[in-house]
Amino acid sequence: MYYCYSIKRGLFDLEMDYAKEIGVYLFYDEKNDLFYDKDDNVIEIKGKKIFPRTGALEAQKLVEAVIKHGGLSLVGIDDYEKTLNWPNYLNTDRTKIILTGEQILANPKKIVDLFGKDSVFFKTKNKNYSQIISVEQFFEQEKPFIKALEEHKQDDFIISDVVEIAEDSKGLLEYRAFIVNGQIYNISRVHDFLLETIKEVIMEKLQEVINTLNKTDFPKSYVVDLYIGKNKLGKSIVDVLECNPIIASGTYLYNTVFKRSEDLLHQCPSKSLPEEKIKYGPVGEYGYDVKNKAVPSICYKLPGGFAADLMSFAMFGTKSSQGQIIHFETTKEINPINLDLNSIKILESDTPSLESESKYSYSSIDELIKKLNKDYLKKQKEEK
């Protein structure tokens, strides 16, 4: 099996280094439509088994290129989209549904009927934005949330009950499993340092999920995230948090794409580590006491995405501009729905930060960036 990447560095550095070491590394150059080996030589991939690995935005193009050039791709053309549609394939303890922006806008009462009047977990199916929000947001017509939905009527959104994930001293009891060709490849707690065994109840639930999906047209290679928590009745449960496309999913300590684990329960925790984690993992001993915690998935940097539009409507009253890359820095958790402008710094490239946008009056992000660039040039002149 060859492991093919289409982004140079950043997302899969550790496994790319290991793939080069063992001679199974490939890189796809989209611009020239060519594949290269570890020595930067052009290589023909026809007939070769390929495990594509890249970012979410590049995933479809990479799979299409592998198939076009005659490679035997682990994942198919439709696998990415099918995996994101996992709520249509699996029953979970919590209520969940996939709706388009248009369906939400046309019948917000359906949200109340399904989930009640309190809060729901709301996310874009393409993983651009996720947040716990109050149900009342679906009814407030002039607010940024509704305006952003109006710009994304054809996009799919996943809405579900809020999940209560159990914790211990090391953080959330959440787990990630890699499934390859319908079999468990490996499983890890969502942690990069913690050496520990896996409870059998987790493996039992995971196998139940695989057995269910193997009876459908769901992809045979994917990633499953599980958790231990409590349901609405206060009963302890093990359930599926979500499924993710294997092509773009990151690994945690015991996860690897290179080899099926011979010790899925980690009965010998220090000996069950993948070889690349030992060779290229973090400096220092594993077992380092770092607590994992939940972090909202909000990709403000993608112009035209739901997250960027939501933030732009919250700050400026307009949608985000195509081609703009805006980065928000804050000491607090950013929630565009209840935005505290005074807690935010706004950066674009190397431009200076703006401590509080509320000091200024801008009709769009474009005007804000012009102001930042002007300030930056002025500052450079003063320093010279």
The secondary element (H helix, E strand) that includes residue 243 is strand 236-244
Do residues 70 and 101 share a domain? no
Do residues 46 and 114 share a domain? no
Position with higher pLDDT, 370 vs 101 = 101
pLDDT band at 331 (very low <50, low <70, confident <90, very high): very low
Q: What is the mean pLDDT of residues 2-13?
A: 91
Do residues 143 and 183 share a domain? no
Q: What is the mean pLDDT of residues 245-271?
A: 94
- Tell whether 129 is covered by a domain: yes
Per-residue pLDDT of 131-142, as tens digits, reads: 899 999 999 888
Query: What CATH number is associated with residue 115?
Result: 3.30.1490.20
Do residues 189 and 272 share a domain? yes
Residue 169 β-bridge partners: none
Report whether pLDDT(378) > 80.
Answer: no
| Range(s) of the domain holding residue 128 | 95-162
- Tell whether 288 is covered by a domain: no
Q: What is the mean pLDDT of residues 232-238?
A: 92
Q: Spell out the alpha helix ranges (H) of 195-329.
A: 200-214, 275-280, 306-316
Q: What is the mean pLDDT of residues 64-89?
A: 98
Report whether pLDDT(27) > 50.
Answer: yes
- Tell whether 53 is covered by a domain: yes
Between 11-20, 98-107, 139-148, 297-306, the lowest mean confidence (pLDDT) is in 297-306
218: left (phi over 0), alpha (psi -120 to 50) or beta: beta
- Nearest C-alpha neighbor of 5 from the set 67, 47, 63: 63
- Nearest C-alpha neighbor of 195 from the set 259, 288, 282: 288
Do residues 263 and 310 share a domain? no
Report whether pLDDT(210) > 90.
Answer: yes
C-alpha to C-alpha distances, 108 to 97, 105, 272, 381, nearest whole angstrom: 13, 6, 48, 53
Do residues 209 and 104 share a domain? no
Do residues 198 and 273 share a domain? yes
Q: What are phi and psi of 164, to 5 degrees?
A: -105, 100
Do residues 272 and 181 share a domain? yes
Report whether pLDDT(282) > 70.
Answer: no
Report whether pLDDT(384) > 70.
Answer: no
pLDDT of residue 327: 45
Question: Positive or negative, the Cα torsion across 252, 260, 11, 88?
Answer: negative
Question: Positive or negative, the Cα torsion across 133, 191, 332, 366?
Answer: negative
Do residues 138 and 174 share a domain? no
Of 126, 144, 162, the last residue of a domain is 162
Q: What is the mean pLDDT of residues 323-334?
A: 44
Between 105-114, 118-127, 280-289, the lowest mean confidence (pLDDT) is in 280-289
- Tell whether 81 is covered by a domain: no
pLDDT of residue 143: 86
Q: Spell out the alpha helix ranges (H) of the chain.
A: 13-21, 59-68, 79-84, 101-106, 109-115, 144-151, 200-214, 275-280, 306-316, 365-383
Q: What is the mean pLDDT of residues 7-17?
A: 89
Report whether pLDDT(363) > 70.
Answer: no
- CA-CA distance, 12 to 14, in Å (whole number)? 6
- Tell whether 86 is covered by a domain: no
Q: What are phi and psi of 144, to 5 degrees?
A: -55, -35
The number of folded domains in the chain is: 4
pLDDT band at 271 (very low <50, low <70, confident <90, very high): confident
pLDDT of residue 305: 83
Tracing tokens 């076009």 back to the chain, one arrives at 68
Q: Which two tokens stand for residue 233?
A: 């009745």
Do residues 177 and 254 share a domain? yes
Report whether pLDDT(357) > 90.
Answer: no
pLDDT of residue 287: 52
pLDDT band at 329 (very low <50, low <70, confident <90, very high): very low
Q: Tell me what the pLDDT averaged over the chain comes to.
A: 83
Contact 264, 186 (CB under 8 A): yes
Q: Which two tokens stand for residue 234?
A: 């206060």
Do residues 150 and 52 share a domain? no
Contact 239, 218 (CB under 8 A): no
- CA-CA distance, 155 to 146, in Å (whole number)? 14
pLDDT of residue 34: 98
pLDDT band at 151 (very low <50, low <70, confident <90, very high): very high
- Tell whether 16 is covered by a domain: yes
Do residues 152 and 187 share a domain? no
Of 10, 43, 76, the last residue of a domain is 76
- Tell whether 214 is covered by a domain: yes
pTM exceeding the 0.75 threshold for the entire prediction: yes
Of 162, 187, 209, the last residue of a domain is 162
- Tell whether 339 is covered by a domain: yes
